[in-house]
Amino acid sequence: MMAFTKNNSQYFRSIEKAYDLGAEFYDKREWMVFWKKNEMPLILKHLGSHKFDKILEVGCGTGFYAIKLLNKCNFLYGIDISKNMLRTFLRRMPSKFKNKVKVKKESILKNSLPSNFFDLTISVRTFSSIKNIDKALSEVIRVTRAGGIILISDLHPKYQIPYCVLKNPQNKFKIKMPFYRHKIEMIIKKLRQACKILEFDEISIKNVKWIPPRGVSFDEALHDLETPVFYVIKAKKL
Ligand SMILES: C[S@@+](CC[C@H](N)C(=O)[O-])C[C@H]1O[C@@H](n2cnc3c(N)ncnc32)[C@H](O)[C@@H]1O
């Protein structure tokens, strides 16, 4: 049993430790319903009906997207710094896909991935956990083949939260960790050095189909329906 701190929350400077601890309840949070109803349809729409040969997911976590993407590729490689998130992914994955998936516990910042290799490199809600975004973007560009697609989606930097929170729905214990607010113009500028930007969406609460009930999460966003909460960028490597 974990010792609860006074205000029922604990701050982790280490993103790896935070996700290792949160993996057990990560998929059960109300936020996942929000992403499933609002973010997932948009991302899948941008990926279209195209079948990719090799997909890389950076920060694949428990496989929220990876499992969906398995129908759209011949091979999926997932990397993540949290062993427990990857463990949950492998546990959830239907056995029929076993031969076309490989996961590795590693950071995009220090990886063993080949250059010019993946047809689609996707990363969802992971870049806001990474301080050195310039290096992360350089690596994403390096591993994607010419003509390949890069899709990055994340919490919007205008969304005013002081840190990222994973709230356990059973006991309300909160795991807090750093939230890096990277300027989108900077991400687009970096991508433009090697890619053509194909799509860019900024989604605010007023544009979404479903929000969690008050008090569950998202209360900060509900104060201002105009503020974007997440963004999606789709680019093609030249
Ligand atoms: C908010 S979760 C998103 C997981 C998944 N993409 C999803 O949509 O549910 C962020 C994930 O990124 C991983 N992560 C954070 N920093 C990373 C890094 N430098 N390299 C690879 N993965 C990282 C975390 O361990 C975590 O599993």
Question: What confidence tens digit (pLDDT) does each residue in 133-167 have?
Answer: 999 999 999 999 999 999 999 999 988 778 898 98
Residues 6+ apart with CB under 8 A from 12: 18, 21, 175, 176, 177
* Residue 93 domain-assigned (yes or no): yes
Question: What confidence tens digit (pLDDT) does each residue in 87-98 have?
Answer: 999 999 999 999
124 lines ligand 1 (CB under 6 A): yes
* Residue 29 domain-assigned (yes or no): yes
Give me the domain span that covers residue 91.
Answer: 20-237
* Residue 232 domain-assigned (yes or no): yes
Backbone phi, psi, residue 95, to 5°? -65, -25
* Residue 1 domain-assigned (yes or no): no
Q: What per-residue confidence (pLDDT) applies to 31?
A: 86
Residue 193 is given by DSSP the state: T
Residue 104 is given by DSSP the state: E
* Residue 14 domain-assigned (yes or no): no
Domains in the chain: how many in total?
1
Query: Residue 5 — pLDDT band, cuts 50, 70, 90?
Result: low
Give, using CA atoms, the residue closest to atom 1 of ligand 1.
125
Which of 92, 135, 127, 152 lies closest to 15, judged by CA?
127
Question: What confidence tens digit (pLDDT) does each residue in 163-222 have?
Answer: 898 989 899 899 999 999 999 999 999 999 999 999 999 999 888 877 766 655 556 666
79 lines ligand 1 (CB under 6 A): yes
* Residue 9 domain-assigned (yes or no): no
Asked if the model's pLDDT at residue 49 lies above 60, the reply is yes
| Helix or strand (DSSP H, E) at 79 | strand 73-80
Q: What per-residue confidence (pLDDT) applies to 194?
A: 98
Give, using CA atoms, the residue closest to atom 10 of ligand 1.
126
* Residue 15 domain-assigned (yes or no): no
* Residue 7 domain-assigned (yes or no): no
58 lines ligand 1 (CB under 6 A): yes
129 lines ligand 1 (CB under 6 A): yes
CATH number, domain of 124, equals 3.40.50.150
* pTM for this prediction: 0.95
What is the SS3 assignment for 102?
A: strand
Length of the chain: 238
